[in-house]
Amino acid sequence: MISTPRLVLRRFTREDAPAVQRLAGAPEVALNTLLIPHPYPDGEAERWISTHDEAFQRGDMTFAITTAEDQGLVGAIGLHSKPDHDRAEIGYWIGLPFWGKGFATEAASAVLRHAFETLSLHRIYAMHFTRNPASGRVLQKIGMRHEGSLRHHLKKFGEYIDVEVYGIVRDDWSG
Ligand SMILES: CC(C)(COP(=O)(O)OP(=O)(O)OC[C@H]1O[C@@H](n2cnc3c(N)ncnc32)[C@H](O)[C@@H]1OP(=O)(O)O)[C@@H](O)C(=O)NCCC(=O)NCCS
């Protein structure tokens, strides 16, 4: 569990499935994420949550982003590690009703700190669709540097997608 002033990041449980389906089911959330389908099928949230325990063993951690106030689900954030390289990729989504409140920045900042200070990783990076500059802002605000662009790197809903790569290495981490 990771706490920030306004948020608690914790493991998902089956009870979160209806909220995941409701929030991740918004087309605005699916559009700029690689792995969220649209329409969001019944049972998908339960299936996704059921993969988390095994994934955690491999260093693939997914946290529910919840409000410290009432533990309501706001979104999700993942840290996907490659232990051989002491590096991990951050990915996240925030439910549409909660956009623009700084929650992605607050969650990503806390996960970055966890990666460097608790997991002792060396490099953390993230990629966002070029058409989604809000995510680029989040990565800038947590101290990541723009490292490059990858043209047509991904395919989503049948369309080739340009992505931006952001990263930070331990030498640049000031806490
Ligand atoms: C991208 C996303 C995570 C941002 O979450 P959020 O909680 O609203 O983010 P924050 O409030 O912490 O910060 C957003 C920043 O982007 C800025 N922003 C918003 N829309 C923008 C736009 N169209 N262009 C540029 N910046 C934009 C905001 O002004 C804010 O920056 P500021 O603090 O300097 O003003 C959220 O919109 C989301 O989940 N989208 C769908 C899924 C997704 O894109 N996931 C990321 C995949 S890489």
Domain chopping of the chain, boundaries? 2-124
Cβ count near 33 (within 10 Å): 19
Could you give phi then psi for residue 165, rounded to 5 degrees? -110, 130
Q: What is the pTM of this model?
A: 0.97
* Other residues' Cβ atoms within 10 Å of the Cβ of residue 167: 19
Question: Which DSSP symbol is given to 116?
Answer: I
Cα-based distances in Å from 132 to 56, 95, 162, 163: 28, 15, 10, 9
pLDDT at 24: 98
- Give the mutation target among 94, 98, 163 for probing the ligand 1 site: most ligand atoms within 8 A of CB: 94
Spatial separation of the C-alpha atoms in residues 175 and 124, rounded to whole Å:
14
With a 6 Å cutoff on the Cβ, whether 29 touches ligand 1 is: yes
Residues 157, 163: Cα–Cα separation, whole Å: 15
Q: Which helix (H) or strand (E) holds 49?
A: helix 44-50
Residue 32 CB less than 6 A away from ligand 1: yes
What pLDDT, on a 0 to 100 scale, did the predictor assign at position 63? 98
- Rg (Cα) of the chain, in Å, rounded? 15
Say what the pLDDT of residue 5 is. Answer: 97
Closest approach atom of ligand 1 to CA 29: 41
Is cis: bond before 39, omega within 30 of 0? yes
Superfamily of domain 2-124: Gcn5-related N-acetyltransferase (GNAT) (3.40.630.30)
Cβ of 99 less than 6 Å from ligand 1:
yes
pLDDT at 175: 79
- State residue 33's pLDDT score: 95
Under-50 pLDDT residues of the chain: none
For ligand 1, is residue 131 a contact (CB within 6 Å)? no
